[in-house]
Structure 1
Amino acid sequence: MPLPVIPRPAVMELADGSVIVADGMPVVALGPILGPVAQRFAADLRADTGIELPVVTEGIAPGGPPAITLAISEGGLAGLAPTSGVRADGRSVTEDADERHALEIDADGVRVWGATAEAVFRGTTTLRQLLVAQLEGGRAELRGARIADSPRFAWRGLSLDVARTFHSPETVRRVIDMCSLYKLNVLHLHLTDDQGWRVEVPSRPLLTEVGARGALGDRPGGFYRLHEIAALVAYAAERFVTVVPEIDMPGHASAAFHAYPELGGLTPMGSGPLEAEGIGSLPAISNLDPGRPEVWAFVEDVLDAVISQFPASAYVHIGGDEAFGMPDTAHATFVEKVIELVRARGRLAVGWQEIARAAIDGDVLVQYWMDPAETESITGSEAFQSAVPAEFLPILLEALAKSTEDVPRALEQGAKLLISPTNRVYLDRPHAAPSADPAQEERRRRVGLPVYPPASLRQGVEWDPIDAALGVDSDEQVAGVEAAAWGETVTDRDDLEFLLMPRLAGVGEKAWAISGATDWDEFALRLAPHATAWDRRGWEWFRSQELPAAVTARPVSG
């Protein structure tokens, strides 16, 4: 039976002895830098298990009662594999953001140490998972063990669409907790799209007064006020998660046009945007025009406002995708200028894979998402073609046909890739397996973009990021792995959590753990005990029949 830890640690060794963790066992933070980490661990463990642990700052005398001790140390970590990629906060993976950590369990208690406070936090996350798995009668007995670990990739993220469906700050905090549990360290907020504008720009008040009024269909709109963004950024930082903002441009700009019609737009369909009907996955065809001075005044106002609200992020996501009908030269001109405007403000740019069609530098991150084989299969399907207006279809197919050259162009220009293939980590796909809970079957039929083939939990782990994109053959070409949760079929928080959990555990596995495809049967054994924490947290997770029946049975309470 493997230790129930996700992502799978690099080193897992069983040892002699055991220790019981129950109410009152002290958590000892050796050094003031670890005080907040200890407090966070105690609070999270209480939420996951109900166990109450006091935090103290003085060591326990030898021969005293067992304790959980947290320390800064690099002892025994030298043999762990180095981390590849880049971090969203711009820090160094070998210095101030070294995440290597270890823990030992024996009769004297638990010792967790790491190279940095963040590393120790990752170690306490592993400990939380072990305690959840052994929870019985309000306490947990841990077997003796030694675990040592470090992440494969520095950027491990989730892109969350809050434009098509607006999610409250409380819901975003719940998503941050899910990310943190599986050692994901980036929440990429897709803040603007055709359906809504979700972030304040004080110099452009109509973006929120008009552009934020609605969402997809008849869903309620909304936006995050300045203090709400600040609180979310701080909440994430306490869990060592960086929030990266996305302002999608030059396409997906209808909300901005509704707010400020004088921005105009490039469109092949006439003077106004063509609004696509049907499933809601299709954007309006109208793009910001790089030839209009008022567009650049607008872009600079937006960047100034957004960058100041996300001070921990070294990156601004500029979108760059699906600028349907926009001439290639105009698109390239727009992307290149936005990258320079971001750089002039002390930040770096990340964008969807289409930005590789412009001239970019090696400090730009390119987010690969279109798997060529699946894109061809989807666009050729009856479901897709029946959902696309006839006049729109040739424009869309022409744009998608260019996608096969995006990754080679990105690599030729020295850019690193964020690996986000639709067929593996787009979490807005329908669930393939039935639910063990009949009450979830209506939601399973309704939630998940119908143009995508349904996906199993197994598909989410039986792959390797290096094999996902043509031309990638080394971790050195990869910035990290990021999943995406789009909102076309998501009507509320329960729908969102139903798509995210337990899929996010698989994302964490692929972004953190050592290379190679994960064996599903072994992964499922590690995953199953985590349901205790999901239920205690009140998360609406998908009770797939792929998981053991004892796990998917809905508890009578809490």
Structure 2
Amino acid sequence: MRKLNHALLASALALACASCTAEKEANYQVIPLPQEVSLTQGNPFKLNENVLIAYPENNALLQRNAEFLSEYIQQATNYAPKTKAIAAGEQVKNAIVLGLDPGIANKEGYVLTTTPEGISINGQTENGVFYGIQTLRKSIPAEAKGATVLIPAGEIKDEPRFSYRGMHLDVGRHFFPKEFIKKYIDLLALHNMNTFHWHLTEDQGWRIEIKKYPKLTEIGSQRSRTVIGRNTQEYDNTPYGGFYTQEEAKEIVKYAQERYITIIPEVDLPGHMLAALAAYPEMGCTGGPYEVCPRWGVFEDVLCIGNDKTMQFLEDVMSEIIEIFPSEYVHIGGDEAPRTRWEKCPKCQARIKAEGLKADKKHTAEDRLQSYCMTRIEKFLNSKGRRIIGWDEILEGDVAPNATVMSWRGASGGIEAAQMGHDVIMTPNTYCYFDYYQTADTKDEPLGIGGYVPIEKVYSLDPTFDLNEEQKKHIIGAQANLWTEYITTTEHVEYMVLPRMAALAEVQWTQPEKKDFKDFTKRLARLMKFYQRDGFNYAKHVFDLKVDFTPDVAKKAVVVTLSTIDDAPIYYTLDGTEPTTASLKYTEPVAITETADFQAVVIRPEGKSKVVNKKISFNKATYCPIELTFQPSEKYKFGGAITLVDGMKGNDSYATGAWLGFVGGDVEAIIDLGQETEIKRVATNAIVDMSAWIMGSTGLVVSVSDDNKEFREVAVKDIPAETNIDKKGVENYEITFDPVKAQYVKVVIKRSPALPKGHAGEGKAAYMFIDEIEVD
């Protein structure tokens, strides 16, 4: 027995020794991808617990950088290298040496050099050294417990493409505690980002303490209830609130500064101010009463710009904001501010008259009043040494002269601003709204606001678009935004930003000619191990089956192309049953020429992926030639007219490419059935999403022809215009008639003439999104 115990002990010691001497290989396939990596054939540097991290004496920033690097190494390996200050010219062996090199051109650039004897990380500034540390950190395997890490010999020369690399977080709709804000900032650091845009005020909650106006947090930070779902008529009747004291905000600012991240605060004005008006109703045009808003959306009640007390309030608030936040920029919003109250407000009209604000063909006098407000606050902040950022709505009027424009309604506002000579931060919703769904199959996703921005779309962004070289200089960077109407928990925040934040990081940092999505996904798998190790709730859609349904008009078929990032085996069925390894194995694109219930799945050793399901329904119009007399919006034309007869219905997201979006006219489609055919029914579908200014149809008209010249009307159906300003969903329209024979069918789908009363865009044109015209 005693001998057995000795044998067991020897075995345990051998295992322990093996663990101590285990080696793990690092590599520089990190995100964002460095600009230049040159490997040599030399032996790697061996990182272990005996390695020293050295920094120049009397440099507190590099000392802190060294301490960060030691912590990062410990997270991966369980050992924390010691840090040491060294004198100029002092040589150290078996060390990672941090230093400054004024010869490096970019202030955030760095050079990382690895030899068998040691590693040096030099930057023009301490910021640059920090980004070199991030690259080294991410080159080490996320899990290397107790191991010696072999760092490849070579040199990395790197610098960011853009000077502004941002992420946004809205805490107005839902509040997140101080410790989570720090965790969010840590994520920015991991992704080489340098700006945190903190959206602090909203209709639904004022989140920052202002000492001169204590009611902003006493009243404005608390709402009595919150709407359930997407602006239903139901409420949870549960009080909700929270705010940051000025001391807490300063603590977060310091935390960010240590990681070379600037916090840009946003106080959104003159709209999105119901929480402030609930606290100080005298600052509104009607005097109230107001409440901290329990619903989501855009509301008519905004600040009264004709009231001198209101303008003094804004200056007082900004005075305290700039004491808390030392950033060069302050974001003052400017978005979604309806003019309806100003039109009827005597004080606002008096201000318009006193300031000589005139309407023209493009802008109303009230538009000019908005510009007056923004310009006045800009001048105040300029006098304090600060600059403003505003959403692209500030282009609607006279743009504040020194304003930086944040382009969110697509890229057009940013392009226009750059052409006017304004600095621009690109945050187009079609690429950078991380509250949008990251998959087209939303049935198992947490409730979201809608839209569709997959990681591939984020990665495809080039923030300079088609600007010329001079105009491109005004694009200072890019940012993604996370609005939190439907994001109530920190876990949900993480799920929505990860891993899309990684795709954005490469947009912001890496030169476009070096970007490659397939290569990115391979590197992403490594980075996701960091998310997993550190307990982040990240989305895994990148491992899902990628499906492309492409119309083939000549074959009258849907061609289905399937792929995965790791070439794992794919199986599919056409009868609606869930695929198994006994099902058809995918080897090449599949052409479907008749009604089918297509399902496909990836089967890996660790389990199955999410099942892809698509119903494909053929009718007499499917894949027939189709012409549109009124074209869809350039932004929402996607695959063109064939989308309307491709046999596939869209889901409840208008941005997936399955719908065509029209504005300003009725949809008129002429379908060539190929030969004389008997028909008696026409049907179609529309999305209604009033919050996105999308309405359904108000009528159908069906006409037929034998020669595509002379048409005779066979059926008309009127549909009541939508009046519920909170409506969201898919509407189905059908019209039946006595059987007729014809080759050509003309279908007119009438649009809603204008957004209804009470809507933020009341009286303005609505979009209409149509999919799948069926003829039977």
SS at structure 1 position matched to 2:50: coil
- The TM-score normalised by the length of structure 1 is 0.80
Match of 2:493 in 1: 496
Matches within 5 A, 1:259-408: 259-265=279-285, 280-311=295-326, 313-326=327-340, 327-360=366-399, 363-371=402-410, 406-407=413-414
Match of 1:108 in 2: 117
Match of 1:7 in 2: 32
Matched, 1:239 2:274: no
Match of 2:731 in 1: none
Change (3 A) 1:110 1:133: farther
Deviation at 1:67, TM superposition (A): 1.4
Kindly indicate whether the alpha-carbon contact (under 8 Å) linking 1:163 and 1:191 is maintained by their aligned counterparts in 2.
yes
Bigger Cα displacement from structure 2, 149-158 vs 65-74: 65-74
Residue by residue over 1:501-546, the C-alpha shift from the partner in whole angstroms, topping out at 9 and shown as x without a partner, is 1111111111111135832111111221112321222111112225
Match of 2:182 in 1: 173
Kindly indicate whether the alpha-carbon contact (under 8 Å) linking 1:49 and 1:536 is maintained by their aligned counterparts in 2.
no
Matched to 1:347, the amino acid is R
Distance 2:374 2:221 in 1: 25
Matches within 5 A, 1:149-188: 149-188=158-197
Matched to 1:320, the amino acid is G
Matched to 1:445, the amino acid is E
Match of 1:375 in 2: none
Matches within 5 A, 1:20-39: 20-33=46-59, 34-39=62-67
Match of 2:688 in 1: none
Match of 1:392 in 2: none
Change (3 A) 1:206 1:273: closer
The correspondence for 2:44, drawn from 9, 14, 18, is 18
Matched to 1:315, the amino acid is Y
Residue by residue over 1:190-224, the C-alpha shift from the partner in whole angstroms, topping out at 9 and shown as x without a partner, is 00010100101101000000001138545731100
Distance 2:510 2:480 in 1: 15
The correspondence for 2:271, drawn from 251, 254, 260, is 251
Kindly indicate whether the alpha-carbon contact (under 8 Å) linking 1:357 and 1:409 is maintained by their aligned counterparts in 2.
no
The correspondence for 1:411, drawn from 384, 393, 418, is 418
Kindly indicate whether the alpha-carbon contact (under 8 Å) linking 2:202 and 2:272 is maintained by their aligned counterparts in 1.
yes
The correspondence for 1:42, drawn from 62, 70, 92, is 70
Distance 1:516 1:320 in 2: 35
Distance 1:447 1:59 in 2: 57
- The TM-score normalised by the length of structure 2 is 0.59
Matched to 2:85, the amino acid is T
Residue by residue over 1:377-418, the C-alpha shift from the partner in whole angstroms, topping out at 9 and shown as x without a partner, is xxxxxxxxxxxxxxxxxxxxxxxxxxx6x4465235421110
More strand per residue: 1 or 2?
2
Deviation at 1:336, TM superposition (A): 1.4
Deviation at 1:24, TM superposition (A): 3.2
Query: Number of matched residues?
Result: 487
Match of 1:210 in 2: 219
Question: Which structure has the greater CA radius of gyration?
Answer: 2
Distance 1:202 1:431 in 2: 40
Change (3 A) 1:447 1:59: farther
Change (3 A) 1:274 1:136: closer
Match of 1:401 in 2: none
Deviation at 1:161, TM superposition (A): 0.2
Residue by residue over 1:260-293, the C-alpha shift from the partner in whole angstroms, topping out at 9 and shown as x without a partner, is 1111137xxx97779998xx54122211121111
SS at structure 1 position matched to 2:40: strand
Distance 1:65 1:177 in 2: 31
Uncovered stretches (5+) of structure 1, i.e. residues with no partner: 83-97, 373-403, 435-440
SS at structure 1 position matched to 2:315: helix
Change (3 A) 1:163 1:117: same
Matched, 1:197 2:206: yes
Q: Could you tell me the percent identity over the aligned residues?
A: 29
Kindly indicate whether the alpha-carbon contact (under 8 Å) linking 1:71 and 1:120 is maintained by their aligned counterparts in 2.
yes
Bigger Cα displacement from structure 2, 145-154 vs 455-464: 455-464
Distance 1:137 1:447 in 2: 42
Deviation at 1:177, TM superposition (A): 0.4
Uncovered stretches (5+) of structure 2, i.e. residues with no partner: 1-25, 228-237, 341-365, 545-564, 569-602, 608-776
Kindly indicate whether the alpha-carbon contact (under 8 Å) linking 1:318 and 1:349 is maintained by their aligned counterparts in 2.
yes
Residue by residue over 1:47-104, the C-alpha shift from the partner in whole angstroms, topping out at 9 and shown as x without a partner, is 35534111111379999752111111145x45xxx6xxxxxxxxxxxxxxx1110101
Kindly indicate whether the alpha-carbon contact (under 8 Å) linking 1:529 and 1:551 is maintained by their aligned counterparts in 2.
no
Residue by residue over 1:473-507, the C-alpha shift from the partner in whole angstroms, topping out at 9 and shown as x without a partner, is 74302121111011011111000000111111111
Distance 1:357 1:314 in 2: 24
Kindly indicate whether the alpha-carbon contact (under 8 Å) linking 1:155 and 1:479 is maintained by their aligned counterparts in 2.
yes
Matched, 1:506 2:534: no
Match of 1:427 in 2: 434
SS at structure 2 position matched to 1:135: coil
Pick 1 or 2: higher relative contact order, CA cutoff 8 A, min separation 6: 1
The correspondence for 1:226, drawn from 241, 246, 266, is 246
Distance 2:468 2:489 in 1: 39
Deviation at 1:464, TM superposition (A): 1.0
Kindly indicate whether the alpha-carbon contact (under 8 Å) linking 1:360 and 1:413 is maintained by their aligned counterparts in 2.
no
Matched, 1:535 2:532: yes
Matched to 1:124, the amino acid is I
Distance 2:282 2:431 in 1: 40
Bigger Cα displacement from structure 2, 285-294 vs 223-232: 285-294
Bigger Cα displacement from structure 2, 111-120 vs 508-517: 508-517
Distance 2:215 2:414 in 1: 37
Distance 1:537 1:265 in 2: 49
Change (3 A) 1:358 1:114: same
Match of 2:593 in 1: none
Change (3 A) 1:309 1:21: same
Kindly indicate whether the alpha-carbon contact (under 8 Å) linking 1:463 and 1:516 is maintained by their aligned counterparts in 2.
no
Distance 2:339 2:504 in 1: 34
Matched to 2:98, the amino acid is L
Matches within 5 A, 1:66-145: 66-74=94-102, 77=104, 98-132=107-141, 135=144, 138-145=147-154
Kindly indicate whether the alpha-carbon contact (under 8 Å) linking 2:203 and 2:292 is maintained by their aligned counterparts in 1.
no
Change (3 A) 1:412 1:60: closer
Matched to 2:181, the amino acid is V
Kindly indicate whether the alpha-carbon contact (under 8 Å) linking 1:186 and 1:243 is maintained by their aligned counterparts in 2.
yes
Distance 1:283 1:489 in 2: 16
Distance 2:448 2:198 in 1: 19
Deviation at 1:22, TM superposition (A): 2.1
Change (3 A) 1:409 1:107: closer
Matched to 1:222, the amino acid is G
